[in-house]
Chain A
């Protein structure tokens, strides 16, 4: 197919050293009218400096309220290929593992019914299929679900939970992030497909505090693997690192955020009472240090990107929770949090914003959590909990 539209401005974006989305759309345009007109419409937006996309009307698949995000062009006569350009979110497998057969299945469905453009695991985590018409939605859903796929979350629902690859490939995982993510997905099917909340709710699960999934910055509930007890030390291996050229003082001791490590050239000591389990020393000296043996997770709440109010990071609400199937303790806590959010949350107010508005103290009381020293809003800054008059025994 030759290019239907001239795109001098977009062409500029192909010139840099980075991969270019323009190049990818052009590739798709060789066999897709959607992609042809997407280029034309985008070029026009660049020229006029206004968007030509409208927000969606009512689109979705029967029975679901989430998973499809409606988009329409505001100049469909000029660009009929993108008159409709809906996005379909597909629930990705935990840890983003696929067989090539599975990827082919998705691509075949998408070449048949959509633009052929995809975005694998963007910031939402889902497989994102970009651009199709309203009448194709049911057939897409039918084909995908007959092959075992399901749609992910969108709108005011539980968003597709996601996780790091965890225990499948990483020696640092303290919890089975993939299993937990899958269990959350199965347990909250209704909440994912049938939006019932004031706003979106995201779960992200990281196997350890390295937090490769960045759960602390972009999940309403971040579940991060950790341990209890002392870090296990192999003094011989520490010496090997020192002999191998590692400056232990500079790279480990001085970098420990809680200053709880000491090293005199022969013995490596950790004051575990003060360790905040940040993983720095363990990640640097893989052979010498290992986490303690009692594993579990820290549960944090509240992060979000800036929209209604500014960006928030998650903060600790449960310093340590055992994480074993069937994860009853976790689900009970989540249900209580949602109940409170549902009662007091305004439309488009994330859980973190609600806590900021009504106070952390109120939140803890209402969901039945005890205040603990680990609950700080920002590391080594303000405490987040203030005792009220009635709490103090006189």
Chain B
């Protein structure tokens, strides 16, 4: 699967759950890997690029979660 497309899928998943359920990294890896029928490591690599670009960030609130950065 194209990495850019995978990144979009991940981003949309996080976007959709914003305000409803905070997702852990492992929730994302599990769900996207199962939905797309690919290996978790592939999802992880795409997620990492989103993180490195600052499009998604890790947040901490009792546990660690993946979220969209707050708008300034």
User: Which residues of A line the B interface, CB within 8 A?
Assistant: 56, 58, 60, 62-66, 70, 155-157, 190, 194-199, 342, 347-348
Alpha-carbon separation in the docked complex, A222 to B31 (Å) = 32
CB distance from A97 to the nearest CB of B (A): 31
Q: Shortest 3 CB-CB distances between A and B: which pairs?
A: A65-B58, A195-B64, A196-B25
B44 touches A65 (CB 8 A): no
Q: Which residues of B contact A197 (CB under 8 A)?
A: 26, 64
B29 touches A347 (CB 8 A): no
Q: Which of B29, B52, B64, B70 has the most CB of A within 10 A?
A: B64
What total of A-B pairs shows CB separation below 8 Å? Answer: 61
Among B51, B52, B59, point to the contact of A58 (Cβ < 8 A): B59
Q: Offer 10 A-B interface pairs, CB within 8 angstroms, sorted by A.
A: A58-B57, A60-B58, A64-B51, A64-B58, A65-B57, A194-B48, A195-B58, A196-B29, A196-B64, A197-B64
* Chain B at the A interface: SS class: mixed
A156 touches B57 (CB 8 A): no
A63 touches B24 (CB 8 A): no
A199 touches B63 (CB 8 A): yes
* Chain A at the B interface: SS class: loop
B26 touches A342 (CB 8 A): yes
Alpha-carbon separation in the docked complex, A156 to B26 (Å) = 11
Among B51, B60, B63, B69, point to the contact of A194 (Cβ < 8 A): B51
Alpha-carbon separation in the docked complex, A347 to B21 (Å) = 13
CB distance from A155 to the nearest CB of B (A): 4
Chain B residues bordering chain A, tally (CB within 8 A): 18
CB-CB under 8 A for A63 and B51, given A196-B24, A196-B26: yes
Q: Which residues of A contact B51 (CB under 8 A)?
A: 62-65, 194
B64 touches A65 (CB 8 A): yes
Name 20 extra pairs, CB < 8 A, besides A156-B64, A347-B62.
A62-B51, A62-B54, A64-B58, A66-B58, A70-B60, A155-B60, A156-B60, A156-B63, A157-B64, A190-B44, A190-B48, A194-B51, A195-B58, A196-B24, A196-B25, A196-B26, A197-B26, A342-B26, A347-B63, A348-B62
Q: Which of B52, B54, B60, B70 has the most CB of A within 10 A?
A: B60
CB distance from A390 to the nearest CB of B (A): 30
Measured CB to CB, the nearest residue on chain A to B29 is: A196
CB distance from A67 to the nearest CB of B (A): 10
A60 touches B62 (CB 8 A): no
CB-CB under 8 A for A58 and B26, given A190-B44, A194-B58, A348-B62: no
CB distance from A203 to the nearest CB of B (A): 18
Measured CB to CB, the nearest residue on chain B to A68 is: B60
CB distance from B64 to the nearest CB of A (A): 3
Within 8 A of A (CB), among B26-72: 26, 29, 44, 48, 51-52, 54, 57-60, 62-64, 69-70
Q: Which residues of A contact B64 (CB under 8 A)?
A: 65-66, 155-157, 195-197
Measured CB to CB, the nearest residue on chain A to B64 is: A195
B52 touches A348 (CB 8 A): no
Alpha-carbon separation in the docked complex, A107 to B69 (Å) = 31
A195 touches B25 (CB 8 A): yes
